[in-house]
C-alpha cells in the first residue's frame, strides 16, 4: 500500500489572481545550453551502459559550467578572440568488471552534436573548449545499481512538485520563445540569435512582456539596420501574441537596454547568437523548470533535473513524473481547476514507493473533492506502478526536461 494523500486546496487559482510572473529562457541562453547538453550526455551514457551491461549504471551529469568567451563585435561580422569553455561535472561509471566506458569521449562528442543541432553560428570545434571533470561515484551510491530488484532505490532523500494546467500567461511565454526560435522565424529573421529570454508579467487581464533577443552582428551593417530590424521583429511578435491570446491589453518590449547613438554599447549584438560568446556564463539548474518555464507564482522543486540519471535519481524522475501525474489527473478527473502533486523520496527505498505522494486540488466553483479522491489515488498508484516504463521514456530522451 502506497502512502497517498488527497487534500482540497482552498485558494484563488493562479489565472484569477491579480499578479502573475513567468519567465522562459530560450535554447541559446547559457543556462539552457548547459541543461540541454548535460541531459543529452546522460541519455547517451544511459544508452551506452545498456548496450554494454544491459542496464543503466550510476551517473549524474548535473553539475556544469559554461564559461563565457571573448569576442570583438563588428558590423558585418565580428571575431571570436577567446572560445567558450564547457565544464562537465559530477559523477559517472567508467568501468564494470573488465569492461571500460569512454565517458570523456561520449561527453564531448555529445556536446558537439547538440551544439551543431541547436546553435547555428557556434562551431563546436573552434568556438568551444571542453573540460571533463566527471569522477567516479561513491561506493554506497554506486552500490544501489548492484542491488537486486526490478525497481532501484532512490539515490537521495528529496522532494518534487508538479502542477496542471498551465495558465494562459505561462502558455504564451513558452509559445513565444518557441516561435522566435523556430526554423520559420529564423528563416525570415536570420539575424535573430538563439539566446532569447521572455519575461511575462500579468496584472489582472493585462499582459506585459519583456523580450531579450541576441542579434547576430554578421547580418547587421549599421546602427540604422539594427533598429530597423528590431522594429520589424517587434511588430511580428506583437502580431503573434495578439493572435494567440485574448488579454485585454498587451504591451511588448524588445531589448530595452538599447540606446541609439551609443554605437556597439547601445545594441544587443553578439557574434555567435548567444551571450555566452562574451557576456554571460551558464550553469545547470538555473534555467527553466521541467515544464519549460520559470513560474514564479508556483511551488517548484529546487532540484536540477537535467543530467541526472533517469532510473534512480528522484531529482529527475520525480521532478518530471509529478507533472505527468498532475496533467493526467487534470485531464481525466472532472471538476478540477488546478492540481498539485508532491512526491517525497527516502534514500535507498524503491522509487515506486515514495515516503508520501500528496495531491492538493483546487476545485471548480460549487465542486468538492468528495467522490474524486478514489479516482485521483488510482491515477497516482498506476503511474508509480509503471515507473519503469516512465524511466525508459527518460532514458530514450522522449520527454523534454527544460
Beta-carbon-side half-sphere exposure of residue 132 (alpha carbons within 13 Å): 18
Whole-number Å distance between alpha carbons of 153 and 23: 34
User: Cα separation of 396 and 56, whole Å?
Assistant: 12
| CATH fold of the domain at 15-25+167-283 | GMP Synthetase; Chain A, domain 3 (3.30.300)
Q: Determine if residue 288 is left, alpha or beta; phi over 0 gives left, psi from -120 to 50 gives alpha, anything else beta.
A: beta
What pLDDT shows up at residue 143? 73
**Dihedrals φ, ψ of 112, to 5°?**
-65, -40
- Which of 248, 219, 254 has its CA nearest to residue 236? 254
pLDDT of residue 139: 58
Question: What are the Cα distances from residue 264, in Å, to 215, 232, 260, 261, 353?
Answer: 12, 20, 10, 9, 57
- Give the pLDDT confidence score for residue 145 in this predicted structure: 76
* Close Cβ partners of 357 (under 8 Å, ≥ 6 residues apart): 2, 3, 4, 5, 341, 342, 343, 344, 380, 384
Letter string b/e over residues 57-83, b meaning 16 or more CB atoms within 10 A of that residue's CB: bbbbbbbbbbbbbebebebeebebeeb
pLDDT computed for residue 137 by the predictor: 77
pLDDT of residue 141: 62
Using CA atoms, how far apart are residues 400 and 181, in angstroms rounded to an integer? 16
In the sheet that holds 128-135, the strands lie side by side as: 128-135, 84-92, 59-67, 282-283
The answer to whether 356 and 344 have CB atoms below 8 angstroms apart is yes
Q: Enumerate residue ranges in the chain where pLDDT < 70.
A: 138-141, 144, 147-148
Q: Where are the domains of the chain?
A: 15-25+167-283
d(CA 333, CA 277): 48
Task: Give the Cα separation of 364 and 333 in Å (integer).
Answer: 12
Query: Do residues 270 and 278 lie in contact, with contact meaning Cβ atoms separated by under 8 Å?
Result: yes
Partners of 201 in the β-ladder: 21, 208
Cell of 126: 573552434
Tell me how far CA of residue 9 lies from CA of 115, 341, 358, 368, in angstroms: 43, 12, 12, 10
According to DSSP, the residues that pair with 296 across neighbouring strands are none
The string of DSSP codes covering 31-60 is HHHHHHHHHHHHHHHHHHHHHHHSSPPPEE
pLDDT at residue 148, rounded to an integer: 64
| C-alpha–C-alpha distance, residues 192 and 54, integer Å | 44
pTM of this structure = 0.95
Task: Give the Cα separation of 277 and 258 in Å (integer).
Answer: 19
In the numeric block, the cell 488510482 is attached to 378
Q: Report pLDDT digits (tens) over 298-329.
A: 999 989 999 999 999 999 999 999 999 999 99
Return phi, psi of residue 199, to 5°: -115, 120
Amino acid at each position: 500500500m502506497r502512502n497517498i494523500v488527497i487534500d482540497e486546496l482552498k485558494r484563488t487559482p493562479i489565472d484569477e489572481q491579480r499578479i502573475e510572473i513567468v519567465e522562459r529562457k530560450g535554447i541559446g541562453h547559457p543556462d539552457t545550453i548547459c541543461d540541454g547538453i548535460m541531459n543529452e550526455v546522460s541519455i547517451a551514457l544511459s544508452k551506452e551502459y545498456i548496450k554494454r551491461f544491459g542496464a543503466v549504471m550510476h551517473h549524474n551529469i548535473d553539475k556544469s559550467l559554461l564559461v563565457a568567451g571573448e569576442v570583438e563585435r563588428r558590423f558585418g561580422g565580428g571575431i571570436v578572440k577567446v572560445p567558450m569553455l564547457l565544464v562537465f561535472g559530477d559523477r559517472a561509471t567508467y568501468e564494470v568488471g573488465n569492461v571500460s566506458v569512454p565517458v570523456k569521449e561520449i561527453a564531448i562528442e555529445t556536446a558537439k552534436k547538440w551544439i551543431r543541432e541547436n546553435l547555428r553560428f557556434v562551431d563546436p570545434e573552434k568556438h568551444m573548449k571542453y573540460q571533463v571533470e566527471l569522477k567516479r561515484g561513491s561506493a554506497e551510491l554506486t552500490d544501489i545499481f548492484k542491488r537486486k530488484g526490478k525497481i532501484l532505490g532512490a539515490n537521495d532523500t528529496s522532494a518534487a512538485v508538479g502542477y496542471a494546467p498551465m495558465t494562459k500567461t505561462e502558455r504564451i511565454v513558452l509559445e513565444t520563445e518557441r516561435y522566435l526560435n523556430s526554423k520559420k522565424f529564423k528563416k525570415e529573421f536570420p539575424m535573430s540569435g538563439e539566446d532569447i529570454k521572455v519575461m511575462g508579467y500579468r496584472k489582472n487581464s493585462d499582459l506585459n512582456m519583456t523580450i531579450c533577443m541576441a542579434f547576430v552582428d554578421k547580418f547587421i551593417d549599421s546602427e540604422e539596420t539594427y533598429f530597423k530590424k528590431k522594429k520589424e521583429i517587434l511588430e511580428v511578435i506583437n502580431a503573434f501574441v495578439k493572435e494567440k491570446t485574448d488579454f485585454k491589453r498587451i504591451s511588448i518590449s524588445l531589448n530595452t537596454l538599447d540606446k541609439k547613438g551609443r554605437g556597439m554599447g547601445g545594441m544587443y549584438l553578439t557574434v555567435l547568437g548567444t551571450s555566452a560568446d562574451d557576456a554571460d556564463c551558464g550553469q545547470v539548474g538555473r534555467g527553466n523548470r521541467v515544464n519549460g518555464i520559470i513560474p514564479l507564482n508556483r511551488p517548484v522543486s529546487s532540484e536540477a533535473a537535467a543530467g541526472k540519471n533517469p532510473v534512480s535519481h528522484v531529482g529527475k524522475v520525480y521532478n518530471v513524473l509529478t507533472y505527468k501525474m498532475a496533467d493526467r489527473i487534470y485531464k481525466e478527473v472532472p471538476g478540477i481547476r488546478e492540481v498539485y502533486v508532491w512526491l517525497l523520496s527516502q534514500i535507498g527505498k524503491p522509487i515506486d514507493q515514495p515516503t508520501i505522494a500528496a495531491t492538493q486540488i483546487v476545485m471548480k466553483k460549487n465542486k468538492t473533492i468528495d467522490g474524486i479522491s478514489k479516482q485521483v489515488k488510482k491515477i497516482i498508484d498506476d503511474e508509480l506502478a509503471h515507473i519503469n516504463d516512465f524511466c525508459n521514456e527518460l532514458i530514450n530522451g522522449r520527454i523534454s526536461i527544460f
